[in-house]
Chain A
Amino acid sequence: MTPLDYDFLRKLLRARSGLVLSAEKHYLVESRLLPVARKAGLFNLTGLVAKLKGANAEPLIVEVVEEMTTNESFFFRDKVPFDHFRETIMPALMAARASSRRIRIWCAAAATGQEPYTLAICLKEMGKELKGWRVDIVATDLSTEVLEKAKSGVYSQFEVQRGLPVLMLIKYFSQIGEMWQVAPEVRAMVKYQPFNLLHDFSRLGPFDVVFCRNVLIYFDQETKIDVLERIARVTEPDGFLALGGAETVVGLTRKFKPVTDRRGLYAPNPSGASAAGSIVNLANAGPRSVVVAR
């Protein structure tokens, strides 16, 4: 692959997915895209780039973007965000939505489905508390290929053992040979659709909760700001945003502010652009008084 080929691929991936590749990521591009090139009957990445520049390249472009943006996921990843979901987000929203009894959740980078299914399992575990409530989980990802796997809800023995407590495994999965499938009632709680975060998502919203974890890290500063500010526009004023452990809104946007003592959790900032670093303080408030406090 020549420097010009690499530059072409970097620009293509940046434009189509927001993925930013630094100059030293040659090896990553080669390891992921060489199999794509071979599958297309090409000998090397120079051939692949030539084909991508040619006519009718769209299916191949989609394949390249999907290959480069496919990331692994696992159930209850990092654990803490799901503690926040059960202990902070749901109690606050159930108090605030007591009359409408409707909550909408968006998993913005659902990958192979472990995150939305984890949220669905958390909701199932709430049992009777949610009787009479309608909770929608919209799960999107750029890659149609990973969403197909997500929809099937079928995972290997290795995948279900990373983060998923065994009690949850036997309660919400059934065994199919050496694989495990999410129970139909849990699968039915999640609606999947392919979606590119670089595109307008105003029609998807509004949402009470947005999980957008471990995706901003792949974007440059400008794209991070753009995506966060557009998420703010589809998040209800008393809603929540959960980011990955290595991600933050601080220094990027004032449309969200950190929730005190809830690492990785953010709330819309009503004073938006003018408020400097204000923080939602839940420290002295019981979960059900959060909404009043805000």
Chain B
Amino acid sequence: MKICLVVDDSSVIRKVARRILEGLDFQIVEAEDGEQALGACQRQLPDAILLDWNMPKMDGYEFLKALRRLPGGDRPKVVFCTTENDVAHIARALHAGANEYIMKPFDKEIVEAKFQEVGLI
């Protein structure tokens, strides 16, 4: 079973994402911010990361840059999932190594389409 790390400071979003991704046969690990997420990745790299942008302590963008510098950190597929819905943010995310980008609000169909796009399902 593939592991997906869900990183979002909103417990509601984490809960919704968990429900969707468990339905797609992922095992879910949760983190509330970039710092927690980085710790989780240092312990075990997941197959996928669903990543919010704006979070306390370390935001999604800083986390992504740090992740890609970890040994093997290029392997997880990172899908941003954020309210930062403009071209400039999308371009920055892709430049930092994001594989896909979900603009909130999202639903199961969108998550499924994006995860399919990057070969996770």
| Bound-state Cα–Cα, A167 to B98, Å | 11
Given known contacts A166-B100, A166-B101, is B90 in contact with A161 (CB within 8 Å)? no
| Bound-state Cα–Cα, A64 to B73, Å | 56
Given known contacts A161-B102, A162-B109, is B114 in contact with A175 (CB within 8 Å)? no
Are B117 and A165 in touch, CB under 8 angstroms? yes
| Bound-state Cα–Cα, A79 to B102, Å | 19
Interface residues of A in 164-182 (CB under 8 A from B): 165-167, 169-170, 174-175, 178
- B116 and chain A: residue at smallest CB distance: A79
Given known contacts A166-B100, A166-B101, A167-B94, is B113 in contact with A161 (CB within 8 Å)? yes
Q: Is B110 an interface residue (CB 8 A)?
A: yes
| Bound-state Cα–Cα, A238 to B85, Å | 44
Given known contacts A166-B100, A166-B101, A167-B94, is B87 in contact with A161 (CB within 8 Å)? no
- B114 and chain A: residue at smallest CB distance: A161
Specify which of A162, A170, A174, A178 is in contact with B113 (CB 8 Å cutoff): A162
The main secondary structure of chain B at its interface with chain A is helix
The main secondary structure of chain A at its interface with chain B is mixed
- A161 and chain B: residue at smallest CB distance: B110
Q: What distance in Å separates the Cβ of B39 from its nearest Cβ neighbour in chain A?
A: 28
| Bound-state Cα–Cα, A178 to B85, Å | 8
Are B100 and A175 in touch, CB under 8 angstroms? no
Q: How many residues of B contact A (CB 8 A)?
A: 18
Contacts of B109 in A (CB 8 A): 162
Q: Is B121 an interface residue (CB 8 A)?
A: no
Are B94 and A161 in touch, CB under 8 angstroms? no
Contacts of B87 in A (CB 8 A): 170, 174-175
Q: What distance in Å separates the Cβ of A150 from its nearest Cβ neighbour in chain B?
A: 21
Q: Is B70 an interface residue (CB 8 A)?
A: no
Interface 1/0 per residue, B93-104 and A, CB below 8 Å: 010000011110
Q: Is A27 an interface residue (CB 8 A)?
A: no
Given known contacts A166-B94, A169-B90, A170-B87, is B117 in contact with A161 (CB within 8 Å)? no
Interface 1/0 per residue, A170-202 and B, CB below 8 Å: 100011001000000000000000000000000
Are B90 and A170 in touch, CB under 8 angstroms? yes
Q: What distance in Å separates the Cβ of A187 from its nearest Cβ neighbour in chain B?
A: 18
Interface residues of B in 78-95 (CB under 8 A from A): 85-87, 90-91, 94
Are B101 and A158 in touch, CB under 8 angstroms? no
Q: What distance in Å separates the Cβ of B65 from its nearest Cβ neighbour in chain A?
A: 18
